[in-house]
């Protein structure tokens, strides 16, 4: 898992060969959507803790 800066200075999450853009933040987690959502129809979503140090598994 790696955090890089996007073109606008925001964060981008790279994990298992895919990159994700931050879409939502709650009190305990952040939700990320696949960058290939439009062009490749990727529907992957990643959820991390607020520090972006752990992926939270889907339940």
Per-residue model confidence (pLDDT) at position 59: 60
Residue 33 contacts residue 43 (beta carbons within 8 Å): no
pLDDT in tens, 14-38: 998 889 999 999 999 999 999 887 7
Class of domain 2-49: mainly beta
- Beta strand 18-25 with 45-49 is unpaired
Q: Give the residue extent of every domain in the chain.
A: 2-49
pTM of the predicted structure, to 2 decimals = 0.79
Per-residue model confidence (pLDDT) at position 40: 72
pLDDT over threshold 90, residue 42:
no
Contacts of 47 (CB under 8 A, 6+ apart): 29, 30, 31, 32, 55, 56, 58
């Amino acid at each position: 898992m790696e955090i890089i800066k996007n073109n606008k200075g925001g964060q981008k999450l790279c994990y298992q060969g895919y990159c994700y853009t931050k879409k939502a933040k709650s009190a305990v987690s952040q939700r990320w959507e696949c960058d290939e959502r439009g062009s490749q129809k990727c529907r992957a979503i990643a959820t991390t803790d607020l520090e972006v140090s752990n992926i939270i598994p889907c339940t």
